[in-house]
Amino acid sequence: MAATAQPNVKNVWLGGVEPMKASYGKLMMWFFLVSDTFTFSALLVSYGLVRFSFPAYAGKVADFVSSPAYWPIPEKVFDAMPFMHGIHAPLVFVGIMTFILIFSSVTMVLAVEAGHRMDRAAVEKYMLWTILGGATFLGCQAWEWTHFIHGTDSGTVVKEIVDGTWITKTVFGANLTENQYGPAAFADFFFFITGFHGTHVFSGVVLNYLVFYRTSTGMYERRGSYEMVEKVGLYWHFVDLVWVFVFTFFYLV
């Protein structure tokens, strides 16, 4: 908070000033995000390692059927839409989710920009849109998880050894120990990584709400700075960026 105005400073690294014109809070957010990057990277690298220890599906895409023997093709798994039961719509729903989340980043940028202009009403408006976008994303994710957990109508017939004897059973949907779409590890990582990301989005929505609330009570106006909007903005953009990677690794490749 110290030294918001820095008159006539020629050498910003000479001490006594904030060299990057960023408050300690903003720097902390940046370094926290660096740290969090490594948390997610570790998870995504683990996903990659386990994924490539399984064989990929070798046949024609059109003939694809789920089996624990090979890694599934994502667009064959994530092809459901709410209210459109039985329609094959590969990656449409997750595409909409992604668009909503990225659009909430745009409204966040607008909120930050409004904060620079000290325009309280506009900050309130755009924070609200951002919160709405985040909440919608979480709602979509809840639906997607529910569908993933309940599975398709027909399920997958799985043959496995239990206590030394081969048994055949039909598996519907997915949990952490077995799933109808492919190897158990596929669902394990799906739940863990999208869940971990979802937790981040949830914290982001909570933080955004806090900032919205404080904006609307006029706290930042009295303080004379909307820097808190910038800080939660950094976090929000980061969460979006992480989703881009999660989306790429789980749904596209």
Partner 1 sequence: MSVVEANLGHDVHSHDEHEHHELNFWRQYIFSEDHKVIAKQYMITGIFWAVIGVAMSVIFRLQLGFPGANLSWLKPFLGGWITETGALDPNFYLALVTMHGTIMVFFVLTAGLSGTFSNFLIPLQVGARDMASGFLNMLSFWFFFVSGLLMFVSIFIETGPAAGGWVIYPPLSALPQAHMGSEMGMTLWLASMAIFIMSSLLGSLNYVTTVINLRTRGMTFTRLPLTIWAFLITAVLGIISFPVLLSAALLLIFDRHFGTSFYLSEIYINGEALPNVGGSPILFQHLFWFLGHPEVYIVLLPALGITSEIIATNSRKPIFGYRAMIASIMAIAFLAFIVWAHHMFVTGMNPFLGSIFMFLTLIIAVPSAVKAFNYITTLWRGNIVFTPAMLFSIGLVSLFVSGGLTGIILGNSALDIQLHDTYFVVAHFHIVMGAASAFGFFAGIYHWFPKMFGRMLNGTLGQIHFWLTFVGVYLVFMPMHYIGIAGFPRRYYQFTSFDFGKSFTDLNMFVSIAAIFTFFAQFVFLWNFFYSMFKGKVATQNPWNSNTLEWTTPVNVGHGNWEGEIPAVYRWPYDYSKPGSPVDFIPQNIPHSQTLESNFPHENEYIAQEKEIEAQNYNDQFASH
Residues in the site for partner 1, rule: CB under 8 A?
A: 2-3, 6-11, 13-20, 22-25, 27-28, 31-32, 34-36, 38-43, 46, 49-50, 53-54, 161-164, 176-177, 183-185, 188-189, 192, 196
Beta bridge partners of 168: 159
Toward partner 1, which CB reaches closer, 23 or 98? 23
CA angle, residues 181, 182, 188, in degrees to nearest 5:
95
CA distances to 86, 177, 186 from 82, rounded to whole Å, are: 10, 26, 23
Sequence-separated contacts (24+) of 21-26 with Cβ below 8 Å? 23/227, 25/1, 25/227, 25/231, 26/227, 26/230, 26/231, 26/234
Rounded least distance, CB 88 to partner 1, Å: 28
The answer to whether 226 and 115 are in contact (CB under 8 A) is yes
Rounded least distance, CB 192 to partner 1, Å: 6
Rounded least distance, CB 174 to partner 1, Å: 12
**CA 96 and chain centroid, separation:** 13
What CA–CA distance (Å, rounded) separates 150 from 158?
Answer: 16
Rounded least distance, CB 180 to partner 1, Å: 15
Toward partner 1, which CB reaches closer, 14 or 61? 14
Toward partner 1, which CB reaches closer, 130 or 179? 179
Characterize the bridge pairing of strands 165-171 and 156-162. Answer: antiparallel
Rounded least distance, CB 23 to partner 1, Å: 7
Toward partner 1, which CB reaches closer, 113 or 178? 178
Rounded least distance, CB 125 to partner 1, Å: 30
Toward partner 1, which CB reaches closer, 53 or 170? 53
Residue in the structure block whose two tokens are 């017939």: 157
Toward partner 1, which CB reaches closer, 12 or 87? 12
